[in-house]
Amino acid sequence: MKTIFFIIDTLETGGSERVLTELSNFLSNKYKIFIITISQPNKVKDFYKLNKNIKRVKIYENLKNENFLIKILRFISLSNKLSKIIIKEKPKACISFLTFSNLLNVFCSLIYKNTKCIISERINPKLIKKNFIYNILSFVFYRFADVLVVQSKSIRNSLKHYNKNIKIIFNHVRNINNKNKYNFKNINFLSISRLDRQKNIFFLIKSFSYLVDFNKNFKLYIVGDGPQKKKIKIFINNLNVSKHVKLLGIKNNVEKYLTSSKFYIHTALTEGMSNAVLEAMSANVPCIVLKHHSQHEFFKNKDNCFILNTSNEKKFSRKVLKITKMKQFKIDKIIRRAKKSIAKINIKNIALKWDNLI
């Protein structure tokens, strides 16, 4: 049985982490899988469950709040740790997700050249705030990877000068059985998201405050956590919508909230291929998405979801309100098309694409 390494910053909650975990679990029947994290302290537990036959390895150096020289030294230390494991286990391929892990993967592949180096950007790095040094290093070193995997045509076009061998592989989506009955009250709107700048939560809440003016019974539930949590709580209180907007934190049972929701709403400033939106589609929840510059080609307005093109909160709320007043048969048509579209991106089909790369 051949050995494969998956490398990622952490296995805490997140879309990239979920995709990597489920992909590893599926491929572990064919390969000897190692999952290696490089930024997760030993005391921090994994959020997602792994098959017992997967080898879990943590190598860790704290690169936060240190000067540039110390960061370089610790990066070299990480490279030495990873290289030793590569030399010992001799994997057929090292597959990494996210920029920092990608750079480490490429760096080690320059030293140990007998392993295929596959790196993956899960979002368009040019559209998010990122350390300019990362941008320079990505441009210089990504070209040495054997394959650069991205999720959409827009990201491929954006990174076309980074590597000559760029492949598009969509996220897979798990099937969520919406027939199960849970003891949750009906949720008008649900959003599953990290609470950070990229996810544009302030825009979502401001828009929802206008929606409440139209209907006092509307409620918005937000599942997730992140660095902006405290500011978001203050923002909710200042808008006097604390009775209507609920921050639920991180949940293991998101499918229960999905299957209890009337609409899923997503307002990220940029995205690769949103796992949360895909899962809402799987749960037969109609999705309302704010249009952004890297909009994935999988999502089609008035076909498998609603894509609203505006940067104005009040206009956005009015468009959302209009959707809520649509005839049910029109909503059902969107739901059926969404369910049909995601059938092609199940774990089996997507894992086969990764297997072909390996």
pLDDT per residue as tens digits for the range 34-48:
999 998 988 899 999
The pLDDT-based confidence of 18 (bands split at 50, 70, 90) is very high
> Percent of the chain scored above 90 by pLDDT?
77
The dihedral built from the CA positions of residue 69, 127, 285 and 351, taken in this order, carries a sign that is negative
The pLDDT-based confidence of 185 (bands split at 50, 70, 90) is low
pLDDT exceeds 80 at position 352: yes
Alpha-carbon distances of 141 from 46, 146, 277, rounded to whole Å: 29, 11, 32
- Residue of 124 and 205 predicted with greater confidence: 205
> If you average pLDDT over every residue of the chain, what do you get?
91
d(CA 166, CA 135): 17
Can you read off the two tokens belonging to residue 103?
């750079």
pTM score, two decimals? 0.90
Residue corresponding to tokens 């098309």: 337
Q: What are the pLDDT digits (tens) for 292-348?
A: 878 899 999 999 999 999 999 999 999 999 999 999 999 999 999 999 999 999 999
pLDDT exceeds 60 at position 179: no
pLDDT at 182: 47
Mean pLDDT for 190-207 is: 95
Can you read off the two tokens belonging to residue 321?
């309100």
Other CB atoms within 10 Å distance of the CB of residue 90? 11
The pLDDT-based confidence of 130 (bands split at 50, 70, 90) is low
Residue type present at position 58: K
The dihedral built from the CA positions of residue 237, 240, 243 and 246, taken in this order, carries a sign that is negative
Give the DSSP per-residue string, 303-315. TTBEEE--S-HHH
- Residue of 62 and 235 predicted with greater confidence: 235
**Least trusted range by pLDDT, from 122-131, 315-324, 345-354:** 122-131
- For residue 7, report the phi and psi dihedrals to the nearest 5 degrees: -125, 130
Alpha helices in the chain (DSSP H): 15-27, 68-89, 99-111, 132-141, 153-158, 201-214, 229-238, 254-258, 275-282, 313-324, 328-342, 347-357
Burial status of residue 276 (CB atoms within 10 A of its CB: 0-12, 13-18, 19 or more): buried
- Residue of 60 and 147 predicted with greater confidence: 147
Which residues, 6 or more positions from 271, have their beta carbon under 8 angstroms from its beta carbon? 123, 292, 294, 296
Q: What are the pLDDT digits (tens) for 267-286?
A: 999 888 999 999 999 999 99
Q: Domains in the chain, ordered, with CATH?
A: 3-169 (3.40.50.2000), 187-344 (3.40.50.2000)
Can you read off the two tokens belonging to residue 346?
């199940």
d(CA 162, CA 160): 6
Burial status of residue 331 (CB atoms within 10 A of its CB: 0-12, 13-18, 19 or more): middle
pLDDT exceeds 70 at position 129: no
Residue type present at position 195: L
- Residue of 72 and 278 predicted with greater confidence: 278
Mean pLDDT for 135-146 is: 92
- Contact status, residue 246 vs residue 220, Cβ threshold 8 Å: yes
